Amino acid sequence: AAAEIGVIGLGVMGANLALNIADNGYHVAVFNRTAARTEEFAAAAGSLGDRVTACATLEDFVAAIRPPRPVIIMVKAGEPVDQQIAALKPLLEANDIIIDAGNANFRDTMRRFTDLDGSGLTFIGMGVSGGEEGARHGPSIMVGGAEEAWNRVEPVLTAISAKYQGEPCAAWLGENGAGHFVKTIHNGIEYADMQMIAEVYGVMRDHLSMDAETIAAVFSAWSTGPLDSYLIDITADVLMVHDAATGRPIVDVIVDAAGQKGTGRWSVIESQMMGVPATAIEAAVAARSLSAMRAERAKAHKRFGVPGQQNRREGQLVVDDLEKALLAGKVAAYAQGFAVMAAASREFGWNLPMATIARIWRAGCIIRSRFLDEIATAFTETPDVENLVLSPAFSSMLVETDPYLRRIVAEAALNGLPVPALAGALGYFDTYRRERGTANLIQAQRDFFGAHGFERLDADGEHHGPWGGQG
Ligand code: 6PG
């Protein structure tokens, strides 16, 4: 057997991952459920073909790989992964490693670890980010499983990963579901980043009456400042592209209903389960769901119109304010995402390395940015900080940008412009920074109707209110 590794599933991501592996000097065996796709892949492999063994059957595929075999599965998350594992299991031998590289729900990954326990096979749940380009030329790779298994595949995974100033963006993050959990939170943050960018785009388009090209120039300028990131770059690029059929900016002919495949929603579900607020991410997921209700929104528009036109004060808002507001929102989204990971790390006993996570997100992945380098530094300098916003660097960033976030959210509210993720970020800060909150009233209400009890500021123990029989 000539191959050092195998890839199952030759969709765009799997095919590009296989080419990336071959490109890095490894011999790779490939297999796809539909043989035609495998042949097509082999035919298109070009000069890399020498290092690719295209297999028509799963038996041939397994036989083509030198044991102990690392086998990457890159198929649709969910049921197809279980089917693939079931098909592979009888063909593999002790110490072979099955690596699920899809966007799996980490709870499925945890279950698969348990299922494979005692089978002699090793399992790795691996988050891969970077889209098609990343898969082909260097993704960010988040690995969960036994550290010993990681040690065996580390050379090939670091070889194919993105590099940030020479440092590979691939790391072992913890046992079992750690890699897929971190990938899920990456996607949750990705949702928040994208939503907040869309919100400031909306302010520019609908409030400042700027056209796509003018907005593109703004994003372009921002990409040389603190917001410098892949998502800001592609936003500028996307806004510049014109539709061939109509000659209009392509964004102006695209339907305003966003899809979602689940990772964003899972990140919110998991954060809620652990009682860790992720308001910017929650708002981003909800905004995608609302975006999909087009017919209902059209009805509501007819019924209510667009509010706040009387408050229109053109020129009040300046584009520079939007940049700072977006930065403040970004601080919230990342602080929340990292807080969710910290809680999960405790809950599942992973000991997630926060600075390393930030480091392997600096290149290759969709949320790659200058900002992540600053997060890596913050977690290196203050590894035990309870929340990113309490680290010295991010406290200063927040103090500087908070007034702009406040102004934008207020102006947007007065003008009926939806900015739910930015508003969620602001609400989070304003709640987080207030020592005396309002939950004293909630506690009184709970005690009144359900005798739930409350604590007093001036005495220990549980107390009940003097509701005088009304409660
Ligand atoms: C990445 C992306 C990638 C993909 C997700 C999100 O990190 O490369 O997150 O995994 O875009 O599937 O998809 P949805 O927006 O469709 O939920």
**Centre of ligand 1 from the C-alpha of residue 467, in Å:** 52
Q: Which residues contact 296 (CB under 8 A, 6 or more apart)?
A: none
Residue-range domain boundaries for the chain: 5-176, 184-432, 438-471
Which atom of ligand 1 is found nearest the CA of 134?
Answer: 8
**Centre of ligand 1 from the C-alpha of residue 191, in Å:** 9
Neighbours of 9 (CB within 10 A): 24
Q: Alpha-carbon torsion 440, 271, 426, 332, what sign?
A: positive
The closest residue, in CA terms, to atom 4 on ligand 1 is 131
Instruction: Kindly give the confidence (pLDDT) of every residue in the chain, 471 residues in length, as a single tens digit, with 9 standing for 90 and above.
Output: 799 999 999 999 999 999 999 999 999 999 999 999 999 999 999 999 999 999 999 999 999 999 999 999 999 999 999 999 999 999 999 999 999 999 999 999 999 999 999 999 999 999 999 999 999 999 999 999 999 999 999 999 999 999 999 999 999 999 999 999 999 999 999 999 999 999 999 999 999 999 999 999 999 999 999 999 999 999 999 999 999 999 999 999 999 999 999 999 999 999 999 999 999 999 999 999 999 999 999 999 999 998 766 565 555 678 999 999 999 999 999 999 999 999 999 999 999 999 999 999 999 999 999 999 999 999 999 999 999 999 999 999 999 999 999 999 999 999 999 999 999 999 999 999 999 999 999 999 999 999 999 999 999 999 999 998 776
- Supply the CATH classification number for the domain 5-176: 3.40.50.720
**Centre of ligand 1 from the C-alpha of residue 447, in Å:** 44
Q: Which CATH architecture has domain 184-432?
A: Orthogonal Bundle (1.10)
Q: Could you give the residue numbers annotated as active site?
A: 183, 190
Task: State residue 315's pLDDT score.
Answer: 53
ipTM: 0.97
Whether the CB-CB separation of 180 and 106 falls below 8 Å is answered with yes
Which atom of ligand 1 is found nearest the CA of 263?
Answer: 17
Which atom of ligand 1 is found nearest the CA of 365?
Answer: 7
The closest residue, in CA terms, to atom 10 on ligand 1 is 129
Edge-to-edge strand list for the sheet holding 28-31:
52-55, 28-31, 5-8, 70-73, 97-100, 122-129, 140-145, 170-174
Is there a common fold for 5-176 and 438-471?
no
CATH 1.20.5.320 fits 438-471, yes or no: yes
**Centre of ligand 1 from the C-alpha of residue 187, in Å:** 6
Which atom of ligand 1 is found nearest the CA of 259?
Answer: 16
Residues with CB under 6 A from ligand 1: 103, 129-131, 187, 190, 259-261, 263-264, 365-366
Task: State residue 311's pLDDT score.
Answer: 60
Task: State residue 62's pLDDT score.
Answer: 98
Whether the CB-CB separation of 236 and 219 falls below 8 Å is answered with yes
**Centre of ligand 1 from the C-alpha of residue 76, in Å:** 12
Mutate to test the pocket of ligand 1, among 17, 141, 261 (most ligand atoms within 8 A of CB): 261
pTM (2 d.p.): 0.97
The closest residue, in CA terms, to atom 12 on ligand 1 is 261
